[in-house]
Amino acid sequence: MNIVILSRNAELYSTQRLVEEGEKRGHKIEIIDPLKCDIIIEKEKPTIYYKDRYLDYVDAIIPRIGASITFYGCAVVRQFEEMGVFTIAPSDAITRSRDKLRSLQRLSKAGIGMPKTVFTNYSRDVEEVINYVGGTPVIIKLLEGTQGLGVVLAETKNAAESVLEAFNGLQARVIVQEFIKEAKGADLRALVVDGQVVGAMKRQGKEGEFRSNLHRGGSANIIKLDDDELKLAMKAAKVLKLPVCGVDMLQSSRGPLLLEVNSTPGLEGIEAATQRNIAKAIITFIERNKR
């Protein structure tokens, strides 16, 4: 098969692992920068032009679309879809997952547990917002934040008011969430491929840090998910229609609570923690579907 990885950085661990496993299984793997693709819209003949050729020979794509290029990256994925090319992450699903508010609304309707969350349109009644989620401390998140950026822990009412007023002044839209104290700065990441959890790790924030992101110095260890955690991860992936994704959740006194679903999960941390070949699982998922 001719498989294209849509990535702006060919040197990233995740990209390199997918190339390695794809070539091992006899596929031709090509890394293409989605921002250098030209989308040609023509009656009954949608095509993509890249550098010096038309990409009309592609069998499947693996989108590795960064948050900063979501709009154009998803337009490229959508064009491949119009050309009948298989993708491990549909363009609409990527767009939904990148919109934290929209995805939380869909997941909540589906009955998935999550921390109490409030979204408000620059409300000046900060005290009321804080009370909705059970009082301080609270987590305040930018709707467009990634990798722990734009996430603030406000431990007091005054701190929460200051942060919300600052974001409001910048006209930055945020959500306010309940702080799950019993999680103790840790979260779970489940990697879902073809509707099944193929690996899971527990990420622990460094001392004094409530964010557990590995990019921020957190550590990770393999963990066996219980039945409720497995069900949550698989259901979240199904609701957002993402066959391949990372599902982040917290362990709480009332069961697992969903944080977010990542449509372009990194492979380095979870392969290191679990010693499982996640890249191979993704390639074999493509093979099953192309058959």
First to last CA, the chain: 11
Shared domain for 161 and 188, answered yes or no, is no
**Taking the model in full, what pTM does it have?**
0.87
Indicate whether 288 belongs to any domain: no
Looking at the structure, tell me whether residues 164 and 83 fall in a common domain: no
Asked which of 179, 205, 224 is the last residue of a domain, the reply is 179
Q: Average pLDDT of each block of 10 consecutive residues along the chain (291 residues)?
A: 96 96 97 96 89 95 93 96 96 91 92 91 73 88 67 87 81 86 90 96 73 60 95 97 96 94 94 95 93 60
Residue 131: predicted pLDDT? 86
13 assigned to some structural domain: yes
For residue 163, tell me if it sits in a domain: yes
User: What is the CATH number for 214?
Assistant: 3.30.470.20
Specify the pLDDT at position 279.
97
Q: Are residues 190 and 170 in the same domain?
A: no
The DSSP annotation for 4-35 comes to: EEE-S-TTSHHHHHHHHHHHHTT-EEEEE-GG
Quick check: is 151 in a domain? Answer: yes
Peptide bond into 137 cis (omega under 30): yes
> What CATH number has the domain bearing residue 37?
3.40.50.20
Could you say which of 179, 205, 223 is where a domain stops? 179
Instruction: Write the CATH number for 128.
Output: 3.30.1490.20
Which of the listed residues 179, 205, 232 is the one where a domain comes to its end? 179
Give the chain's domain count.
Answer: 3
Residue 122 sits in the same domain as residue 164: yes
Residue whose entry in the numeric block shows the structure tokens 């709009």: 71
Within 8 A by CB and 6+ apart from 80, the residues are: 4, 48, 55, 58, 61, 87
- Is 230 in the same domain as 271? yes
Q: Is residue 24 part of a domain?
A: yes
Residues 35 and 58 in one domain: yes
Q: Are strands 117-119 and 138-142 parallel, antiparallel or unpaired?
A: unpaired
| Predicted local confidence at residue 157, as pLDDT | 85
Query: Are 200 and 264 within one domain?
Result: yes
Same domain, 147 and 131: yes
The whole domain housing 70 covers 2-91
Q: What is the pLDDT of residue 125?
A: 72
Are residues 190 and 279 both part of a single domain?
Answer: yes
- Quick one: 161 and 235 in the same domain? no
